[in-house]
Chains A and B, each alone.
Chain A
Amino acid sequence: MTASQTLFAKLWAAHEIMQRDDGTSLLWVDRHLVHEGSHHAFAKLAERGLRVACPDITFGVVDHYAPTRAGDVSPDIRRMIETLGDNARAQGIHLFDLTDPGQGIVHVIGPEQGLTLPGLVINCGDSHTSTHGAFGALAFGVGATEVAHILATQTIWQRRPKTMRMTVDGVLGPAVTAKDLALHWIALLGADSARGYAIEYAGRAIKALSMEGRLTLCNLSIEGGARLGLVAPDQVTFDYIAGRPFAPKGAAWDAALVDWAQLKSDKDAAFDREVRIDAADIAPTVTWGTSPEDALPITGCVPNPADMTGAKREQALAALDYMALDAGEPLDGIAVDQVFIGSCTNGRIEDLRLAAKVLKGRKARVPGLVSPGSKAVKQQAEAEGLARIFTEAGLEWAASGCSMCVGMNGDRVEAGKRCASSTNRNFRGRQGRGARTHLMSPAMVAAAAVAGHLTDVRPLLEGRT
């Protein structure tokens, strides 16, 4: 009899090629995704005269520097995009370039194209690779040296992380989303609380999430310090995958369903750490500081550093100074200069539907940008009439890419400006030098656009189905 195993342990065992005496494992990588930022890794490969070991399971996409608005592209950005194209062509890698209908943010198109599947190990030189864990895959971000290693060998050396199960009981309230859930737990436990852990999300509230919601939740695992997040695949997962371009078909599909049915933690499996959260405790949540852990319900107030001690107090003082906020100020009412909806966290069709539900028939009081997570999302949003709702509200409807999440393509928040954003990082300078970012769900961003300040979206959704 084999002992009860966690989902994580099963996935790890299925990919372990060997283990060194020191306990480090060599894992097989089923999918490797590269983007413009992978140029350092390709350069390392070229230095050694090596070729990509498995181009058939390596995929490239233009996203971080993808232009989202008409107009001139700077020579620097053009060079980044061309370098990826040159590397992909030279190595025989399938590339979703700017003209490809499959283009979009790497963590949006992986699932959308059927490249992301349950049971795989998926790597990408990007920390939000944890997103793909929503399918019950071992998916984690790596640095450039490791990208080069995967390109050269299709494997990665890893120390086995510990396991944490985060059980979310109960039901999320109206207009409370996976984004709110993620910000809630990160605020509760801390931005480094899950360091060294693989998190499996479980419980009734997780089961009830759509694939989009699970992707958002797993995406933000890294903001709580975890290497990866996981949700056991179920019918919701299988229904999402069926018929996607690179998904298995015919006999392979049938075989996949048999294998995937095993992908869950056994009943008595032991985790290194157990966390329980009650979904009923979660309200629409916003950040007030410069770390994702600086998050509170919209009904709360900016915390007072005077109530804190030591390093925590210094951190809060510095955050309030950067964010230009006063201690004790109600969060509902903080005026914003602009809004952004998009990113690999919240740039999927469901996110846009929710934001559009808030914006329908209303006007935004501040300017804003909406960048769908992929071309496919863009097309669908246009077909569903969502794009019209955004533009009629006064927001700009842009092309797909990382856009204002990171500002590499020139979509930036100006210094000193305050942005309500559906992205994942409120770090200093993340959306542009001196930019002040408040993270929240796309519904809450839409509410901020309508009100001109941070506000509770719930009243705005009353009576709207």
Chain B
Amino acid sequence: MSGWTTIAGRAVALPQANVDTDQLIPARFMSAPRSAGYGAFLLHDARQDQADHILNRFDGADVLITRRNFGSGSSREAAVYALVDFGIRAVFAPSFGDIFQGNAVNNGLLPARLTGDQIEMLIASLGANDAEATVDLATGSATIAGQTVSFDLDPVWQQKLVNGWDDIDLTAQHRDQIKAFRAARFAAHPWALPAS
């Protein structure tokens, strides 16, 4: 995966709290291989029920502004695939589901935290329209609909997003240390191995 430092695109607001992963991608779509493309599944039911859903009206959106607890619920990484394949590259919210935000970073999607007040200000600025958005990982700031905000981002995640790092490669360098750890752990605690 390649990294990124800046986004210049369009932002829209989804003024809802608790947009859980079951809404982001209903379970029935999760047996598809990733190569099939997951963009069409994003918020599938809501988008089908509401023809004027913000993501139907602006299907080129790159940045999403939303309320607290976005991506809560299931660990399904498919929720991130749906966002990424749709074209979303950054989500701004006061809080995110714990597993979701890790999944997001692993797929190059920025989960950026803002205060509730900042989010309400952006939601008010955007209304039901889209607007220009720029995001800069290096400075941790974004300008959305003319409003500039600094966001809170874990430095480790910033690094991963910028470099497009893959943990498997990183970890492979520690192979010997891991091997030794396993041997020592099971020697000291033989009960930790499953009996057979």
Contacts and interface: CB of A to CB of B under 8 A. Distances in A.
A407 interface: yes
A237 B96 CA distance: 33
Contact of A225 (B98, B159, B168): B98
A145 B107 contact: yes
Interface in B25-41: 26-28, 30-31, 33-34
A11 interface: no
A149 B167 contact: yes
B98 A195 contact: yes
Contact of A428 (B45, B75, B100, B195): B45
B27 to A, nearest CB: 5
Contact of B26 (A141, A315, A433): A433
Interface in A101-135: 114-115, 117, 119-120, 125-127, 129
Contact of A256 (B18, B100, B191): B191
Contact of A429 (B22, B33, B154, B156): B22
Given A28-B182, A191-B69, A425-B22, A17 B192 contact: no
B17 to A, nearest CB: 5
A154 B178 contact: yes
B22 A145 contact: no
Interface stretch (B53-61, B126-134, B135-143, B169-177): B169-177
Contacts of B5: none
Interface in A126-159: 126-127, 129, 141-146, 148-149, 152-155, 157, 159
A146 B178 contact: no
Contacts of B26: 429, 433
- Chain B contact-residue range equals 35 or more
Contacts of B168: 48, 50, 148-149, 152-153
Contacts of B97: 192, 195, 225
B87 interface: no
Contacts of A196: 98
The 8 closest A-B pairs by CB, nearest first: A143-B103, A256-B191, A248-B191, A145-B106, A143-B77, A144-B77, A192-B69, A427-B22
21 contacts: A17-B181, A26-B174, A40-B78, A50-B168, A57-B193, A119-B192, A120-B192, A143-B77, A144-B78, A155-B171, A157-B170, A222-B99, A252-B191, A255-B190, A291-B69, A310-B120, A311-B68, A311-B116, A407-B27, A428-B22, A434-B45
Interface of A: 17-18, 20, 22-24, 26, 28, 30-31, 37, 39-40, 43, 48, 50, 54, 56-57, 59, 65, 76-77, 79-80, 114-115, 117, 119-120, 125-127, 129, 141-146, 148-149, 152-155, 157, 159, 191-192, 195-196, 222, 225-227, 245-249, 251-253, 255-256, 259, 290-291, 293, 310-311, 314-315, 318, 406-408, 425, 427-430, 433-434
